[in-house]
Amino acid sequence: MTEATPVVEMRDIKKSFAAVQALRGVDLTLHHGEVLGLMGDNAAGKSTLMKVLSGAYSADEGEILIDGNRVHMASPLDARRLGIEMVYQDLALANNLDVTANIFLGREEVSAKIGPFGIMDGERMEQEADRLLDRLKIKIPVRLLVERLSGGQRQAVAIARAMAFNSKVIIMDEPTAALSVAAITQVLDLVRELKAQGASIIVISHRLEDIYSVSDRLIVMRQGRKVRDCPVTGNLDDFRLGVVAYMIGARDDFAEVTVS
């Protein structure tokens, strides 16, 4: 593997649900340290494509390569073992548990075992959670209950949980949906921090301004196909007009040129 080898390659991915063809031969490449924006109208196939990458769905056809090696993922656990984590829109946080417990949920540290049972090492988990949040510049007390967090803080905890086990690819599904302006800024700053620390990130969003703000490259999907793959350049107004044209079908091509 070399630096030029993409961290993720998805080739000719197809997926159907009964008579509905959700993905019609989609290619996707994600490079090391890149933020890739993924856009499309409802039912464009973007969430289905990411669920294939995260192991929640199995593709009917096509192949996935991680760091140049072909892989097969039968479950999210397989994806996690390969360093791929997905932060879903509902975040899947336990409101009655604190920040530390949510970060380690399902992957608790144990200090000792009594037969088949393990004794959780709460102190060690707290210390590791505190170090993780500090590294990501997230200022949230690790003992605070999640039910007391703001929307932006909850999103930050979910992202921190995804990064807690040295993940190389983070997929974020609508990370700024229904957040305040201040919380959106907080989440986008966290995306930039993750990139600075070497993570490769895919952001699914309907908020074009957010994609423009943090992404290096954009893929637009429509009706189960990739209709645009281009760098994020130019001014926001021109970018918006170009992207919308591809989303609604006014333009439709596969050329690797700047949106205009």
pLDDT at 1: 54
Residue ranges of domains in the chain, CATH in brackets: 8-248 (3.40.50.300)
pLDDT higher than threshold 80 for residue 115: no
Provide mean pLDDT across the span 17-38. Answer: 96
Indicate whether 142 pLDDT > 70: yes
**DSSP, residue by residue, the chain:** --TTS-SEEEEEEEEEETTEEEEEEEEEEE-TT-EEEEEESTTSSHHHHHHHHTTSS--SEEEEEETTEEE--SSHHHHHHTTEEEE-TTTT--TTSBHHHHHTTTS--EEEEETTEEEE-HHHHHHHHHHHHHHTT----TTSBGGGS-HHHHHHHHHHHHHTT--SEEEEESTTTT--HHHHHHHHHHHHHHHHTT-EEEEE-S-HHHHHHH-SEEEEEETTEEEEEEE--S-HHHHHHHHHHHHHTSS-----S---
Task: State how far Cα 46 lies from the chain centre.
Answer: 12
Average pLDDT of the chain? 90
**pTM metric for this prediction:** 0.90
What's the token pair of residue 132? 């993780």
- What pLDDT score does 2 carry? 58
What local confidence, expressed as pLDDT, does residue 111 receive? Answer: 78
Q: Please tell me the distance from the alpha carbon of residue 233 to that of residue 259, in angstroms, as a whole number.
A: 8
Residue 47 has pLDDT above 70, yes or no: yes
Whether the CB-CB separation of 111 and 120 falls below 8 Å is answered with: yes
Cβ-contact 205, 179 below 8 angstroms: no
Q: How far is residue 240's CA from residue 155's CA, in Å, rounded to a whole number?
A: 26
pLDDT at 3 over 70: no
Question: Angle between the 122-135 and 151-163 helix axes, to the nearest 10 degrees?
Answer: 110
Q: What is the pLDDT of residues 211-239, one digit of tens each?
A: 999 999 999 999 999 999 999 988 898 88
- What pLDDT is recorded for position 257? 37
| 47 C-beta neighbours (distance < 10 Å), count | 23
